[in-house]
Amino acid sequence: MIQPEIAKLVSEIHASPQRFVLEFAGAGSLALFWLHSQAGSSRTVLEAVDRYAALSTIDLLGAEPKRFVTKKTARLMAVHAYQRALRLSSGTAPVIGVGCSATIATDRRKRGKHTCRVCVIERNLCTQYALTLEKGTRERFQEENIVSKVIMAGIAKACGLEPGIDLNLQKTEPLKIDSSPYKDPLDSLLAEEIRTINIVSNGHMQYDQIIDNVAVLSGAFNPMHAGHTQLARAAATHLRREVVFELPVINADKGALSHSEICQRLAQFQNNWRLLLTRQPLFANKAVYFRNSVFIVGYDTALRLLQSRYYHDNKAELRAALTTIRNAGCRFLVAGRIWKEKFCQLTDLSIPSGFSDMFEALPEDNFRVDTSSTEARKLRDTTDTKTSHLG
């Protein structure tokens, strides 16, 4: 039977707007059980992963740590959980990342201490919980109960709640709590503190990487639709290169995306596609981060690329931009698009003299999808309206 104070806390957590991802290793399964014991956990728990095999934790961390149960390990787990939550939340709610690494009583004799490290990451705050238990005074279930309560207390605090649960600790078992500032990676990108975020399919984020020899499909992806993925697959086959999607968080015409808008776009990328977030709306600036790569563009994007209005109406600046792109080893693969009720291709573009070798056509037989993002957005908005009326 679940203790009344735990049941009350679970109910309060489910009523809060926060959503979270939980990564735990060694202990913490009771916390997940308690959260799922009441209706409403689908509003709260985005994902939970029990990393019980050592290799599973190593895969998450990217290397084998000297010791598994440390503040550093718990923080790395929580950072990954927070980044994963950003991808899964769709920007609809504030998110939390929770990491727990613990070693407790088992069916064999342990030389080390029975201890846990729990880390909870919010958008602007990182809170660490450290606890060492007296060996030999409790059964495994009792130690699991305490570790799970520490996790619940951390989640509750991040939700703005008072935990109100008794850990039943001895005087020799102080729970140490330490807080420090944390900067959300999307906020850091928007504030120009980092230049790029490379996001792999599991949501893990790497900062300020330069990627070479790939094919890059850049766009606003509002929304992402079948035309984007079909174009990516056709280009990958044609070029025999990995395709990386790029989402510039700043648009040359519309300004910067908000944090929630970025999260909404992130949620669309599935099926192992790699995504790079940048602050660069112009291809001459993108080329710095994608050296020796091919930019995949539709006719309409190529048309804008070659319009002098994006270069202060100065044709010399346009030529300088194309020269910068060439010097980075980059070029363009152009797919045909419907433009002003006509299917237009590379041959319909006016390319400045001396630069035509930088542009290659993706044959119409290889790819043609006439649905635009504007049309997909209208269809999405119409569907959303009908659904809300049905609700």
> What pLDDT, on a 0 to 100 scale, did the predictor assign at position 108?
74
Within 8 A by CB and 6+ apart from 207, the residues are 185, 188, 194, 195, 196, 197, 198
pTM: 0.90
> What pLDDT, on a 0 to 100 scale, did the predictor assign at position 279?
94
**Beta-sheet pairing, 125-133 with 114-121:** antiparallel
| CATH of 195-385 given 2.50.20, 3.30.70, 3.40.50, 1.10.287 | 3.40.50
Q: Can 4-182 and 195-385 be said to share one CATH topology?
A: no
Domain residue ranges in the chain: 4-182, 195-385
> CA–CA separation, 296 vs 334, rounded Å?
6
Per CATH, the number for 4-182 is 3.90.950.20
Within 8 A by CB and 6+ apart from 132, the residues are 113, 114, 115, 173
**Beta-sheet pairing, 243-248 with 215-218:** parallel
Instruction: From 243, 279, 247, select the one nearest 263 (Cα to Cα).
Output: 247
Phi and psi (nearest 5°) for 133?
-95, 150
> What pLDDT, on a 0 to 100 scale, did the predictor assign at position 377?
57
> What pLDDT, on a 0 to 100 scale, did the predictor assign at position 273?
82
Q: Which value, in Å, is the radius of gyration of the alpha carbons in the chain?
A: 25
Instruction: Give the amino acid at 85.
Output: A
Spell out, as residue ranges, where the chain has pLDDT lower than 50: 385-391
